[in-house]
Structure 1
Amino acid sequence: MGLKLQEVSSAAGWRWVLQAFAEYGRYPFGYTGLFLAFLVAVFVAMLLPLLGGLLLLMSMPLLTLGFMMATEAAQRGVPPAAAVYPAAWRGRPADRRRALLALLMAFAVASTAALWVSETVDGGAFSAWLEAFIRGTAPADEVSKLAMAPGATSGAIWRIALTAAVAVPFWFAPALVHWAGQGPAQALFSSTVALWRARGAFLVYFFAWTMLGLGGMLLGSVLIALAGPSLAAMLMLPLALMLTAVFYVSLYFSFRDCFGDPASA
């Protein structure tokens, strides 16, 4: 039996997050190492002149596919390993490799366009605030002033809207190419339909991750106040790596509920 769209209840959104934490607990070092391997590859790619930024954008769908493949394999008792990234290409039919490459290029173009529109709308105000906030060394009043600067709020809204517009069609598209053999256009369409049909579950899912993200930011602010920026960054790094890895692990469970077990494809 091949993959096909399935009905998904709203409660599934909570279940995906809980399943991801439980799965991460089985292979914490494996999944964290999987994400770190991606970061190392990105760092090396960024050293390349001109092509670095393009390769970074093209690699994001490959990251989601790699984690889905690793999580699916872990259900069969295979520990996560960075070998899943080349496995997305090695031994695959030529049409699927071409379709995946087309998706990666389309994602890079769409992301670049979204970033350009956002920067044009706010004149870089949101980026200036975000940089100051992440750096953590700027005085609080300066950060607040940047947050209230003209264009900062609209820039945030535009980024959220455009990021969502790009993310929806690409959410499941790489996995649909890899497991179901769909073409790029069909995979983008199927992904969009799947997220729309399961919109209740995804609203719950995104709410849960928003709350976890805000909780992490609050904890980071407390640690900065108590221990200073440098020590707080060292303490928050393991938590950030864990939450990021858990998020990517959760993608597989959302795919399985929306389309069925990839082993059936």
Structure 2
Amino acid sequence: MDFVVRTNERDWLVILASTKTIYRFCLSKEKKKNSDEYRIRLSTSVILAKAFLNGAIAFRGHDESETSIYKGHFLEFLRLLGELNESIGKVILGNAPGNNQMTSPKIQKDICNCFTQEVLKRIIEELGDDVFSILVDESQDISTKEQMAVVLRYVDKYGVVIERFIGHVHVMETSAACLKSAIDELFSQYNLSLARVRGQGYDGASNMAGEFNGLKALVLNDNSSAYYIHCFAHQLQLVIVALANKHDDIFFFFDKVSTFQMWFVYLANE
């Protein structure tokens, strides 16, 4: 079955689940030749995106200008495909219109977002109507924007415990109320309900695990069956930090790493 992911442009991306291929069809009328070339360009970009996502390979290059020795994996592999396949080589990169090459960062993100929706669709189907637990953590990204990561933990039909990352959400602040609102909004997108939650795991920070005003308490107000467990990964982190603080060499090492990281963030924002 096909489904449509709308974009802000005048056209859309249609994902054909049967062939795992994404095509972009313009609403404006085009000649068949141009339409075929358009489809070849997009299909080639989709094939590359699928391979890079599967291998967790970076798309972009540090320098993608014409004079660059290596323009990044996406453009370089696209050029290689053009050399290996004459029909592709005739319609990509320099042989394509400047505003219709299907290689821009926005196009790459559109394609990746479509694959994301396909993966999430399968996760929600796998979960079905069963109960589940949520694991939530929040931190700043490299641009210092606050974001919240959400993971679903559940048991599949074979009795295997599964953990699936379903996305990260940018939040204005890390207060419990703001995080709770973001979770509600994320759940609404995938028709999930807090009533099906049977566990919640966070770190021990007051905004997460606070007895009265933490995220834990807000979720428990909606569902008393959502039992809270202090995240074991965060517990392990606390143990490691406590041990590292007792060892001078380790303490100085991480202190230097933290200092360098702050300088890198400062220089990146300059």
TM-score (normalised: structure 1): 0.26
TM-score, normalised relative to structure 2: 0.25
Greater fraction helix: 1
If each structure's strand is expressed as a fraction of its own residues, which one has the higher value? 2
Q: Pick the structure with greater CA Rg.
A: 2
Structure possessing the higher relative contact order (Cα contacts under 8 Å, 6 or more residues apart): 1
